[in-house]
Amino acid sequence: MSTGTVPTPKTKIVCTIGPASSEPATLRALCEAGMDVVRINMSHTSADECRRMVRDARKCADQLGVPLGILVDLQGPKIRLGKLDRPVSLDPGDSVVLVSEGVEAGENELPVTYDALADDVANGDRILVDDGRVELRVREVAPHRVRTEVAVGGTVRSGKGINLPGVRVSAPGLTEKDHADIEVAREIDADYVALSFVRSAQHVQELRDQLPEGMMVMTKIEKDSALDDLDAILSSSDAVVVARGDLGTELPFEQVPLTQKRIVRAANERFCPVVVATEMFESMIERPRPTRAEVSDAANAILEGTDAVMLSAETAVGKYPVKTVEALTRVIAEIETRGSTTARRPIYDVADVPARLEGADLSSTELAVARATLEAADAVRAPAIVTFTKSGHTARVVASRRPPVPVMAITDSGRVYRQLALVWGVVPIVQAGEATYETMWETARSHLLQRGMAEEGDRIVLTAGMPFQVRGTTNMMHVQTV
């Protein structure tokens, strides 16, 4: 059996693009360093900037011949402080009134960009400002005004975020800005659209209803209330993000690690790609090396079974965007080469692949084929698994079991080719020309040999659906000799 060349990293990297990384030369360097998905944060990006970034990123990917997913991240109903004339210092015990936007704020009153604040909160509720650096306690609620007492003091500035832990926020899932940004996502043919501050599966469906068929919804878990509806949210989503920034503000900090593990495991079980985000290599915004704690944090996310890790400010505004991706790639390579994810068995036994999954868009036949594929790959010591896929479903199911060998996915869809760039262990290949079993196997064979993933005579486990042109018909497993 082939030992292959240097293995391709299985855990993928999502990079937020901003002023530090949007030039074509930097985008190319990021691709070469290991970037798999471009994230465009619409909270800080105009429509014209988004169009330019996507054009330049796709040009780089085409030149390098690599799959590169495009993720448009909607701002969502983020609650913030309004415009302040100057920074305001708050001391413990101070009385501060929060005023709905559109109502004139007086002395010792702070404007808030959320009209329904007074409708949603009650006496005793906590209001956290600037990622929890300042904590307020609600003492009195009146129309358009909420009187609070400062529990933890600090200085607040215009635009700082507000979190309402434990409060059922009545804001709509999508704002007017989100609707405008959805149109941009449609125009540029984004691969994923991320929905922020999701509180229920209904919000996921509201976004899906506005997207063309095939464009995927990535749900960000960053509200404590989302955890109450987690199973339904996962069933409704094409991918999820453990957004530890706001989630870590809404939850007690000591609960974040186990919550992260819970979300990753639940997503794996439902064949839903999962991304761990926020402060992965935060120190590299200013310094050329990550801290030991950051390296351990990234390593743990990889060992937990995340499909991808996301870099935010590190690549958007940091001083060392390319070095950051190179550093993260080194960590991934080390953990996958020496860690338990590359043992000669999946992290999850194939018995974990159920005969059917309630609410999932997968037939019992697809699940049965995926289970048989994993068993066969182990039995014949296959150096790789190959899937012929129209939608990417089977590749995601097989990869979610974390097999010890790569999953090469052959597809005739450019969009699916790019979307699979997010999925753990998947090597996407786009099929040029007619997509038949014979042409796709020849494409797979050629790439397996070129990439050092197999040698002539090796046995490869292959899955496909016949007829290939019909989505969701995976019904065949075959052991093919290279």
Q: What is the dihedral of CA 336, 339, 344, 348, to 10 degrees?
A: -90
The CA–CA distances, whole Å, from 185 to 73, 152, 203, 375 equal: 9, 40, 18, 40
Residue 225: closest CA among 120, 152, 118, 135? 120
The alpha helices in 380-413, defined as continuous H runs, are 393-400
Q: What is the DSSP string of 34-87?
A: T--EEEEETTS--HHHHHHHHHHHHHHHHHHT---EEEEE---S-EEB---SS-
Catalytic residues, by residue number, are 39, 80, 220, 278
Residue 378 in tokens: 């182990």
Element (H, E) at 262: helix 256-269
Q: At residue 211, what is the residue type?
A: L
Sequence-separated (6 or more) residues with CB below 8 Å from residue 254: none
CB 408 within 8 A of CB 373: no
The CA–CA distances, whole Å, from 5 to 2, 193, 450, 454 equal: 9, 35, 10, 9
> What sign has the CA pseudo-torsion 27, 34, 409, 416?
negative
Residue 225 in tokens: 């209330």
DSSP β-ladder status, 407-411 and 426-430:
parallel
CA 358 and chain centroid, separation: 23
